[in-house]
Amino acid sequence: MTPFRAGLTALVLTLVLDQATKLGLYFGTDLVLTQPWRLAPFADLVVVWNRGVSYGLFQQEGGLGRWLLVALSLVAAIGLGIWMRRASSRLLSVALGLIVGGALGNAIDRAAYGAVFDFVHLHAGGWSWYVFNVADAAIVAGVIGLILDSLSPDSRKARTSPPQGDPAPRL
């Protein structure tokens, strides 16, 4: 499988899984009325509508902010999609696909509902992590993939060597 196809597969799977979990939990269960649902001593399912970005930053109450965040997500998805198309490494392409799929999943929520539906709450003792969804987890995994790709010897070699067919610059 080519790097682009691997990235496209990651993108589509992320988007489908994200939307399926959100739609299934919100419309297919009574989670809204009976929350929280305890999954484990450290994990609950809850309903949180995030009108901002990661960690609830930049909360947008008005329509303008909502649509600016949708537009920003789409512009980022297009730019990262172009990068994914040009990626020579499967890891890089899959990482970008995860990020684009997550960005599109959250943009769909924001466009359809005015906010992103988050539902996984991790906690332990007095510690509480923010509430997130599949798209958020995919974006985090994608960023980790970008970091790992940037640290790989093949990636560093490709960035420092001149392109094939181009002679090294002469001074």
Is 118 labeled as catalytic in the residue annotation? yes
Residue 83 in contact with residue 148, Cβ under 8 Å? no
Single out the catalytic residue among 18, 109, 118, 149: 118
Identify the active-site residue in 109, 136, 149, 166: 136
Token readout for 164 is 């094939």
Q: What's at 53, amino acid-wise?
A: V
Q: Which residues contact 164 (CB under 8 A, 6 or more apart)?
A: none
Residue 127 bridge partners (DSSP): 124
What are the angstrom distances between the C-alpha of 12 and each of 44, 59, 87? 26, 28, 17
Is 154 among the residues known to form the active site? no
Q: Which residues pair with 160 in a beta bridge?
A: none
Q: Quick check: helix, strand or coil at residue 47?
A: strand
CA distances from 2 to 75, 80, 146, 171 (A): 25, 17, 18, 38
Active site residues per annotation: 118, 136
